[in-house]
Amino acid sequence: MLDERSKYLRRQIIRALKGGGRGHVGSSFSLVEIMRVLYDDVLRPEDVCILSKGHGCLAQYVMLVEKGLVDAKELDRFCREDGLLGGHPEHHIPGIAVSTGSLGHGLSLGTGFALANRNARVFVICGDGEINEGSIWEAALCAGKHKLSNLTVIVDYNKRQSYGTVASVQPLEPLDRKWDSFGWFVNGCDGHDVSQLRSMLGELKVESDMTMSRRPRALICHTVKGKGIPEIENHPLWHHKDVFTPEDAVRLEAAL
């Protein structure tokens, strides 16, 4: 069951979808608890957060609004010419470290940030479909080589991508063993369980260069695409809505 804060954040996403008249719905809803815990409980001013799965940006935008980095009125101008917030994160938006959206680049960028400043923690959120990209695994090899204990990749493992299931498009299992074989510590959790996410992410520390066991970390979050509204959960038509109507907004808000 979702608590009131998670429901409220989803309503804010619906507000933005209504403002823009389109957007990635299911992809954003599966990220809400991950982004909520990062911004509410984990991130420090010196940390870096990269949403490599850029099409899920609405889940990040509502947290930037919550933290006072972006005016709430920008949600009503989502994807409009006079607005700040586009369909993918861009560097000119306060609180966005790098522009993303072309899938597969975020982990390479995060590896660079982590290598350049080992005292900062770097969090990269990837989609499960996204990690079919070869560039993800090149970055994973590099991070393992350099023992980047300050780097954490969070996989939004909702088992769906734009046109089918992950298992039918390009199977990932055994996903935990893949990351382990690339030199990463691996954990898994329910990506909608706030307590589990806090436990997994809240105690991450940068290990000393003298520690031989230093490894980057991968957290595989098992999620539901479109989580929170039965009509859209795991439904491919809600991956992206080219036309999101006021009637859609009313119906989805009532379902929360």
Q: Tens digits of per-residue pLDDT, 83-108? A: 999 999 999 999 999 999 899 999 99
User: CA 34, 40, 41, 46 torsion: positive or negative?
Assistant: positive
What pLDDT is stored for residue 208 in this prediction? 55
Rounded Cα distance, 100 and 79, in Å: 15
Q: So where are the chain's domains?
A: 4-231+250-255
CATH topology assigned to domain 4-231+250-255: Rossmann fold (3.40.50)
Instruction: Find residue 134's DSSP bridge partners.
Output: none
Distances (CA, A) of 247 to 14, 18, 175: 11, 9, 39
**Exposure on the CB side of residue 94, measured as CA atoms within 13 A:** 13
**Under-70 pLDDT residues of the chain:** 203, 205-213
Instruction: Report the pLDDT value the prediction gives residue 98, as an integer from 0 to 100.
Output: 97
Q: What is the pLDDT of residue 209?
A: 54
Question: How far is 230 from 76, CA to CA, in rounded Å?
Answer: 25
Q: Are 193 and 33 in contact (CB under 8 A)?
A: yes
pLDDT number for residue 210: 45
List the alpha helices (DSSP H) in the chain.
Answer: 4-20, 26-29, 32-37, 57-66, 106-116, 134-145, 166-169, 175-181, 194-202, 246-255
Cα–Cα distances (Å) from 242 to 22, 84, 144, 147, in that order, read 5, 20, 40, 42
Report the pLDDT value the prediction gives residue 60, as an integer from 0 to 100.
98
Residues 6+ apart with CB under 8 A from 173: 167
